[in-house]
Structure 1
Amino acid sequence: MFKKILVVCVGNICRSPTAELLLRTALAPSTITVASAGLSARVGESMEATARKVLEERGQCAEGFKARQLTADIVNESDLILVMEKEHVKQVLKIASHARGKVFLLGKWQNEREIQDPYRQGQAAFIHAHALIEDAVGSWAQRLGH
């Protein structure tokens, strides 16, 4: 049983916080905790404005979110780590090679689909990324029993 799920992207201000909030909502009520971190995090920053706007337009609240850097300790305390791109799997394993069996693409159930970074690409890219994240989160939530 997974108790702690971690979602990872690069900056931890667009994709991973979106997935964190959507997955937490999809799994509620649950004892599973969901968090996020970045491979090159914009530490302490709030969610990127367009990503937050897209979330809020769909009824989610991103208040109080702060980006954090992925560390070996965070990897160690996580039972399941979901990443956006295949390259992210390699980068997580560079930080903690023993995590091999618990790192998967968020888009695993969509034929290993990668979710590209919408950062600095305009609202359409954020809407597209949000839709892909939402689809992938739904698949994980079903498989996690919710």
Structure 2
Amino acid sequence: MFNKILVVCVGNICRSPTGERVLQKLLPEKHIASAGIAAEKSGLVGKSADNMATELAAENDVDLTGHQAQQLTSSLCAQYDLILVMEKGHMEALTSIAPEARGKTMLFGQWIGQQDIPDPFRQSREAFEHAYQLIEKSAEAWAKKL
């Protein structure tokens, strides 16, 4: 079964840490982590979650403290049973990093109409709220499936 889940976005400071912690809250018996496709290139490795993401998560009883962004690698992918990406385009980016992981990679928004969850980075609070709502709805749908 899917006991180890990796949530992936671009920088690993907004969407994927939020998705990771929302899923962790819904599925406490599972091992859930997150990573970024371009965390290294963006100079974000080791950084904490975005302030707005942290604030919104806290308002929804989700704690992002202690998060540290990490780069997605093929060895990291190998450690997980299921990899959830935020956008359809992330599938290709992930496949170029870890082609062998393609078969266990799905959209985070798979069960809400295969919806992409747009990146709110450096955008308005409304953009973060929209992303958060999609993440929460998607995580709830995944929790039912798993």
Same fold (TM over 0.5): yes
SS at match of 1:66: coil
- Residue in structure 2 matched with residue 112 of structure 1 by the alignment: 114
CA distance in 1, matches of 2:140, 2:3: 18
- Residue in structure 2 matched with residue 71 of structure 1 by the alignment: 73
Select which of 46, 49, 71 maps to 1:47: 49
Q: What do residues 26-57 of structure 1 show as CA deviations (whole Å, max 9, x unaligned)?
A: 002x1x20000001111010000000000001
Output the amino acid matched with 2:37: L
- Structure 2: gaps spanning 5 or more residues: none
- Structure 1: gaps spanning 5 or more residues: none
- C-alpha displacement of 1:58: 1.0
Q: What do residues 50-108 of structure 1 show as CA deviations (whole Å, max 9, x unaligned)?
A: 00000001112111111000011011111000000011011111111111210000001
Question: Which aligned runs of 4 or more in structure 1 are off by greater than 2 angstroms?
Answer: none
CA distance in 2, matches of 1:26, 1:120: 28
- Residue in structure 1 matched with residue 90 of structure 2 by the alignment: 88
CA distance in 2, matches of 1:96, 1:119: 25
SS at match of 1:37: strand
- Residue in structure 2 matched with residue 141 of structure 1 by the alignment: 143
How many residues align? The count is 142
- Residue in structure 1 matched with residue 99 of structure 2 by the alignment: 97
CA distance in 1, matches of 2:87, 2:123: 17
The CA RMSD measured in Å over matched residues stands at: 0.7
SS at match of 1:35: strand
Q: Is 2:34 aligned against 1:36?
A: yes
Q: Output the TM-score relative to the length of structure 2.
A: 0.95
Q: Is 2:125 aligned against 1:123?
A: yes
How many percent of aligned residue pairs carry the same amino acid? 48
SS at match of 1:111: coil
